[in-house]
Structure 1
Amino acid sequence: MNPLMSKLPKVPPGKIIVNKDLSDSSLGKEIIRFHGGVAFSLPSLSGAPVDFIPAQNTPVIVICSENSSGADAEIAAKIKRFKKAWGSAGVIVAERNCSTTNLYKGVQTCATLKHDSNVIPVTSLLELPVLLKDLAQTRSNKHLNPFLTVKSTPNTTDLASKQLALLTNIPNVGRKKAQLLVDKFVTIRRLSYATEEELTECAGSATAKAVYKFFH
């Protein structure tokens, strides 16, 4: 088990742990006041970013217009530290709407292409409390990260398996369609730049729409 996990505070039932640094922000105040949030500080984990803990051993970071300048280098550095600290247990949430298109694209590119990680989009930060509660409620005893329980993840011992693991976590993409996409495009980077028409030729319309939406 990741030794950093033992340093995280216990999550009381029905509560959401909020990083003390966020407790004065509008989002932090909202969660603390109306959604069972409890402020905490992690002085010994200054290099391991975490914004919220909605369930035990489930650290979450949120990248949004409120807490980010939108600079790719800044986003990449935060995601890199987060993934290094928490691995697959960590959950990345990013704001995605018409005013944060470039911000979300930077998060998606870094997390997906460089760290084989999924990003959970929210169109508004008002959705975040509900998402955090869902994370707590759907947590499985088999996995540290409840989003890994949606579909079984192949053994990621090599690049091909990691690619399949990523693609099969996209809605409407099963293992057979994921294998077709990997065989056709070889790398996730090439796949992310494919047009919807190219994806349709390879894996059909429904899968193409899901994959194209995921990367754009």
Structure 2
Amino acid sequence: MRVLLVEDDAALASGIAKALRAENFAVDVATNGEDGGHLGATERYDAAVLDLGLPIRDGISVLRDWRAEGRDLPVLLLTARDAWSDKVEGFKAGADDYLVKPFRMDEVVMRLRALVRRAAGHAAARIACGPLSFDAQLGTFELEGLPLKLTAFEWRVLSALMLRREVVVERGDLIERVYEGDADVDSNSIEVIVGRLRRKIGAERIETVRGRGYRLTAGAA
């Protein structure tokens, strides 16, 4: 999962990014509304964390532009304002959730996971595909009831496939969801990660759709 974080407080942005990366998210950071608005309009993200009080452009105007352009990524607003009128303005602009500063970092993580899961069409936290299960709220995988140990890159690929199980996920889509914007991506990197996942969960469970991408299936029992 790849998240856009737009926050001008350097210490807070660093703390949020660190907490998200520790939970296997890829994170791109913008420190003003102009840069954040551009990234959200041109890159593909699973969700955005957007501060309201930003330099150059405020968060509400950024969010309104995203929605006007048809950008439907889930957005979690951050603000130091706790007035109900401010929350109403944020939701009217198209926000999906709202956090008032100060907050716990683990709450940001949990709320983002819930937003991404619901955006993918899953009401329940636990998602199953054959013997493989994913607790989208806790971020954990199990295979045949046993915990599955994954690297951050493996987790990002498998979570993207799991949220759209039985549907082809294009290779370019996976690349955008696995790597941060400044990453130097090798052309065969996704194939390498998929190969490692096949060894861990069974080769038959990740189908290659030539010329398009990959599909997670229930596979053999």
TM above 0.5: no
| Short-chain TM bin | 0.3 to 0.5
More strand by share: 2
After TM superposition, the score normalised by the length of structure 2 is: 0.36
More helix by share: 1
